[in-house]
Amino acid sequence: MLPRHDRPCGHQIGITMATDRDKLIAFVRETHRLAGETDIVARGKAGREVSAATAADYARVGRARLDLEDESGGRLMEGVSRQSWDHHRAALRHEAAMAFRAHRSACDRAQRSQYLQTAARHARASRVALRAFTAVSAATRPPERSAPRRSKRKTLPKGDGWQKRAWEAATAAMRPALACGWVGARPNEIELGVALERLQTQQGAVVQVRIRGAKVTDHSGQPERVLWISATSPEGLALLSAIPEGATRTEVWRRAKRINLDWSQRIRPVMGGKPSAYSLRHQFAANLKAQGFDPIEIAKALGHLSVKSQKRYGSASQGQGGGVGLLAVDATRDVRAGPEADLVTDYDPGDP
């Protein structure tokens, strides 16, 4: 019996899985010729230069929509809204190009080693990746905007202290992620890992929160932001509880899908109403606005590159009486304000 990776596959694209060297070589040459008619090779080389956060975000989209076992390449742009079109298109072109590059190299290595079955399998996968890249590149943006999703700021519970009720409803395993959401971290950013560190400063005990951006492109988002939170504030106390006893630092990690299930299956049924993980982020924005923070500082705290993006978030009238424990914030990129802010789109498909 052949090893698992050398067994024939049920899907075929112009090449059998038999060890026919001439057919394999012809198929590979034709694939290379077709690749030369696109920018997939250049795209694959450029893909190595994206940030780790962007690569992780693109990989998430690729896992959901790119399927090299499917002759059509998978779901690709099917059902993608106009609002998230550019983000999905960039992610899928990147993932298809990187897959093409990887499988083409693997095919070449297998040919040199005379593993023709393996070479044929990688040749086929590279052709599927090429087909997916071409299809995504040629896809047409939907002519009309899809209906906007309801903003989470409209679901913010009224009155102060609802985050504390969420905290009490959560289990011990859920609370570190909830604490990070309390200071504006998206579920996808918590999945990348949020670094917490207890510091002693002239202002007293402080929790340093380092967040890697999950929605970052060349024209939007902050690759990384750092917040300093008063350790005596409600959110500061929540963050401190995530740091193990006797330690000064830790990293909070939890899958975004698991966080959303925490709210739908446990926290929301206990609390009532319609709050979600993103409601914490909207409340954080509302508190910053109510406390009179500069829009540029708010943008940095939320991980935005433009001051315009915060308009979709909680309003100052929704701010809580206890204020917010943010002492300072820094971010990788300068925030754009004024007319140049119109050139930036911090669209977040999971953050209406």
pLDDT digits (tens, 9 = 90+) for 99-109: 888 888 888 88
- The answer to whether residue 286 sits within a structural domain is yes
- Among 59-63, 266-270, 346-350, the range scoring the smallest mean pLDDT is 346-350
- The pairing of strands 224-230 and 326-331 is antiparallel
Q: Are residues 35 and 101 located together in one domain of the fold?
A: yes
Confidence of residue 227 (pLDDT cuts 50, 70, 90): very high
Candidates 94, 101, 123; CA nearest to 21 is 123
pLDDT value at position 37? 61
Point out which residues pair with 204 in neighbouring strands. 201
* pLDDT per residue as tens digits for the range 280-319: 999 999 999 999 999 999 999 999 999 988 888 888 888 8
Quickly tell me which residue has 């079109």 as its tokens. 85
- Give the chain's mean pLDDT: 83
Domain count, the chain: 2
End-to-end CA distance of the chain: 53
Alpha helices for 79-218 (secondary structure H): 85-112, 116-138, 162-169, 175-182, 187-192
Joined tokens for residue 307: 């001051």
The Cα-based distances of 56 to 3, 22, 51, 59 in angstroms read: 31, 39, 9, 5
The pTM of the whole model exceeds 0.85: no
CATH number for the domain including 227? 1.10.443
| 332 and 289 in a common domain | yes
**In-domain check, residue 143:** no
145 within some domain = no
- Res. 121: pLDDT tops 90: no
**What type of residue sits at position 231?**
A
Q: Give the residue with greater pLDDT, 235 vs 104.
A: 235
- Cα–Cα distance, 101 to 38 (Å, whole number): 13
Question: Is 329 found in the same domain as 191?
Answer: yes
Q: What range defines the domain where residue 105 resides?
A: 4-138
Sign of dihedral through CA atoms 155, 161, 163, 168?
negative
**170 and 129, same structural domain?**
no
Higher local confidence (pLDDT), 62 or 345 = 62
Query: Mind listing the pLDDT tens digit for each residue in 194-207?
Result: 999 999 988 789 99
- The average pLDDT across 77-85 equals 86
- Torsion sign across C-alpha atoms 168, 313, 338, 293: negative
> What number of H helices and E strands is found in the chain?
13, 5
**Do 256 and 190 meet the contact criterion of CB atoms below 8 Å apart?**
yes
Assign 261 a pLDDT band (cuts: 50, 70, 90). Answer: very high
Residues 176 and 129 in one domain: no
Cα dihedral angle (32, 35, 36, 39), rounded to 10 degrees?
A: -150
Instruction: Say yes or no to pLDDT of 272 above 70.
Output: yes
